[in-house]
């Protein structure tokens, strides 16, 4: 392996997580073969978030024209994908002279931008995925020969592996972002603490609590810091307990405004968090939850109204039925007639597609249980 190939491989593997490095790798591959353009394409029908179409050289200025007018008739990708995995070939050998002289893609797009022949490799292909690389020369260099094909075939396993790692990275990153989004929407403050005692994540609710400046702040990593010294010492002791293999526990943090104390729970970190790579410096050591007793949670009626697209009256009735009310007790508490209560029931049945009151109540109970509102 020469120095140029070593530089290419270094950029290629850095490109697993960095598109700029991957673009540099494509440019280096283009230079290795003295080509005018390059293209790296990876498509996955089962995970489209990992799809990649990257071009370099002469293609840079014409990619929109290619995608809009010529991609559908480009004969090279399908031909390259039919080569056995890890193999390489040149289009002058794959296509007859008649095809090269008459094909509209070659005559109307490929040659007008100064390209003559493609050296391509099949990195991976099956029914759901395919990945190929193409390097395009102009008339300024000789046709691709056996040495060029053999050299590209030496590099294709590295290209295939880098793209496989990139797909895995994007899947893990997608899981991580989905988990982060879910926890960001929780009304309870959440902080993930690493093994060194710093926070690797603080959710939106925790940041809002800290912004009040009322008894609790966040350090530079995002770890909750009670203003009260005794509360801070209690939290530190709980973190040390978790680090030593203990279960953690509860602490309270007084507030200067006189409102009810925050309640803090310190517990061992959940293994799934570390598996999702939230903590890039090591395994997550603990999870801290901060509850504000004065915060207003959404009522069961509000949850059912939004979840089932019910009018307010029907949602209030359904919340009451889920809490063991009947139509009569609901009507008395709400100050409405029994006929109004029955109207709300008919509305809820119609909106939810349920057939009986019992089926409707079971649906409501499942929703409220899943949303921890019961």
Average pLDDT value over all residues in the chain: 87
- Answer whether 164's CB lies under 8 Å from 144's CB: no
| C-alpha of 57 from chain center | 31
Residue 358 has pLDDT above 50, yes or no: yes
In this predicted model, which residue has the larger pLDDT, 74 or 282? Answer: 74
Q: Are residues 60 and 136 in the same domain?
A: yes
Calpha distance 164→362 (Å, rounded)? 45
With beta carbons less than 8 A apart as the criterion, state whether 119 and 135 touch: yes
The pLDDT, as a whole number, for residue 46 is 67
Q: What's CA 250's distance to the chain center, in Å?
A: 33
Write down which residue in 272, 291, 310 finishes a domain: 291
Q: Is the pLDDT of residue 374 over 70?
A: no
62 pLDDT above the threshold of 70: yes
In this structure, the answer to whether residues 145 and 9 fall within a common structural domain is yes
| pTM higher than 0.75 | no
- Buried residues in 135-149 as b, exposed as e (16+ CB within 10 A): bbbbeeeeebeeebb
Residue 103 clears pLDDT 70, i.e. is over it: yes
Same domain, 129 and 152: yes
Percent of the chain predicted with pLDDT > 70: 92
- Between residues 205 and 186, the one the model is more confident about: 205
Q: What is the CATH number of the domain that holds 328?
A: 1.10.10
110-114, 123-127, 205-209: least confidently modelled range: 123-127
- Residues 313 and 351 placed together within one structural domain of the fold: yes
Q: Which DSSP string do the residues of 328-342 spell out, in sequence order?
A: HHHHHHHT--HHHHH
Is residue 19 helix, strand or coil? helix
Whether 297 has a pLDDT exceeding 70, the answer reads: no
Q: What distance in Å separates the CA atoms of residue 149 and residue 151, rounded to the nearest whole number?
A: 5
The pLDDT-based confidence of 270 (bands split at 50, 70, 90) is low
* pLDDT tens-digit map of 141-177: 999 999 999 999 999 999 999 988 888 888 777 777 7
Q: Is 340 left (phi over 0), alpha (psi -120 to 50) or beta?
A: alpha
Residue 22: what pLDDT?
93
Confidence of residue 77 (pLDDT cuts 50, 70, 90): confident
What's the total number of domains in the chain?
3
Any domain includes 182: no
What is the structure's pLDDT at 327? 92
Q: Which of 335, 359, 331 is nearest to 343 (CA)?
A: 331
| Average pLDDT, integer, range 61-68 | 90
pLDDT 10s digits, 230-241: 999 999 999 999
Question: Which residue among 151, 175, 199 closes a domain?
Answer: 175
Q: What is the pLDDT of residue 263?
A: 93
The secondary structure of residue 142, as a DSSP letter, is P
Residues 281 and 316 in one domain: no
Answer whether residue 310 shows pLDDT above 50: yes
Range of the domain at 201: 187-291
Between 44 and 94, the higher pLDDT residue: 94
CA distance 151 to 88: 9
Instruction: Assess whether pLDDT exceeds 60 at residue 280.
Output: no
At 43, give phi and psi (nearest 5°).
-125, 140
């Amino acid at each position: 392996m020469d120095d140029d190939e070593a530089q290419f491989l270094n950029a290629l593997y850095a490109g697993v997580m960095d598109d700029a490095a991957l673009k540099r790798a494509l440019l280096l591959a283009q230079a290795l073969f003295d080509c005018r353009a390059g293209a790296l394409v990876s498509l996955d029908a089962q995970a489209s978030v990992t799809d990649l179409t990257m071009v370099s050289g002469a293609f840079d200025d014409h990619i929109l024209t290619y995608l809009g007018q010529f991609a559908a008739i480009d004969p090279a990708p399908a031909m390259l994908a039919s080569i056995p995995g890890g193999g390489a070939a040149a289009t002058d050998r794959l296509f007859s002279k008649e095809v090269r002289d008459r094909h509209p893609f070659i005559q109307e797009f490929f040659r007008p931008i100064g390209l003559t022949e493609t050296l391509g490799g099949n990195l991976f292909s099956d029914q759901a995925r395919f990945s190929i690389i193409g390097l395009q020369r102009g008339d300024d260099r000789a046709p691709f020969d056996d040495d060029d094909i053999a050299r590209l075939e030496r590099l294709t396993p590295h290209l295939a592996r880098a793209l496989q790692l990139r797909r895995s990275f994007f899947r893990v990153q997608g899981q991580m972002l989905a988990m982060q989004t879910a926890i960001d929407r929780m009304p309870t403050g959440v902080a993930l603490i690493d093994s060194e005692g710093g926070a690797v994540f603080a959710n939106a609710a925790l940041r809002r609590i800290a912004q009040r400046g009322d008894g609790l702040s966040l350090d530079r990593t995002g770890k909750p810091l009670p203003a009260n010294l005794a509360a801070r010492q209690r939290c530190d002791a709980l973190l040390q307990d978790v680090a030593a293999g203990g279960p953690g526990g509860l602490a309270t943090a007084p507030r200067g405004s006189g409102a009810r104390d925050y309640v803090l729970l310190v517990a061992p970190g959940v293994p799934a968090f570390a598996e999702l790579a939230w903590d890039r410096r090591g395994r997550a050591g603990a999870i801290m939850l901060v509850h504000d007793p004065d915060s207003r949670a959404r009522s069961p009626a509000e949850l059912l109204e939004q979840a089932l697209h019910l009018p307010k009256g029907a949602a209030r009735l359904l919340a009451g039925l889920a809490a063991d009310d009947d139509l009569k007790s609901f009507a008395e508490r709400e100050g409405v007639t029994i006929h109004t209560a029955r109207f709300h029931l008919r509305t809820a049945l119609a909106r939810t597609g349920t057939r009986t009151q019992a089926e409707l109540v079971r649906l409501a109970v499942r929703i409220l249980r899943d949303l921890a509102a019961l």
